[in-house]
Structure 1
Amino acid sequence: MEELFEEVELEAYVYPTEDIEKVKRAMLNLVPDLEFETFERDEHIILTGRTRSKKALSRLYELFRGQAILDTARSFLEEGYFGEEIIVKVNKQAAYAGVVNFNEESPLGPITIIIRTKNPKKLMKWLAPRTKDGVPIE
């Protein structure tokens, strides 16, 4: 079976008022099996997490369905699709609580999710299919 994606990367700024472990937890609540790196930048740290795990998107798959936000997720995925990358931003505090919220407006900045894929249409169809009355139709 063809792979749906090559790599998933998450990135967030970690400010001095934040606990880096909590930001890591927020990221892991969205995508499991991340390997983290940190980069010092002026007054903040850039935290990135990467994975090539086959299960990387399983949590987002479950969250989109559990929260009944497939149509919203689909529109954000389509909006963030450029070539072989799909980029979406989600609220950091919501992610820490184990929820996906595409409202990235937050004083602490969003978590950026970058999905690298050779077949973005197939990936979007699997991750967030079109729905009718909340039921997937694809």
Structure 2
Amino acid sequence: MSSTLHPQSERSRAAASGLTLFAAVMMLVVGFMNLFRGIMAIVHDKVFVTTPDYVFKFSLAGWGWVHLLLGIAALMVGVGLFRVSLWARVLGVAVAALLLLASFLSIPYYPLWSIVVIALCAFVIWGLCVVQPEDSPDS
């Protein structure tokens, strides 16, 4: 069937699957980072900054559980993204957006790591949204 497709259509499909693969790998990286961040926060590791007057004040263990659960979700979605399916892409954007929001809200606790995760999540969202594969050879 691929011999009947137009060359432009084949390139679009390759680009879509390539960006989805990129997003899947980045989602796995972000998932592992958040998994470790969650574990560190739950056991009250000394790498976190104390912030006495923060508007979104939450216990360190509470933030740890949030990041741990989001990290597990990111790992599951990252594995699902290797199938290049629409449901995995939609769920990937949603989980990456939640990870981005959680990292933004926890910037005062671990600034550098939060900014790195925000950037990676933004790349994941971009990679999943920018290219849509063509379904028919006529398009």
TM over 0.5: no
Larger Rg over CA atoms: 2
TM bucket, shorter chain: under 0.3
Question: So what's the TM-score if we normalise by structure 1?
Answer: 0.27
| Higher fraction of helix | 2
Bigger relative contact order (CA 8 A; separation at least 6): 2
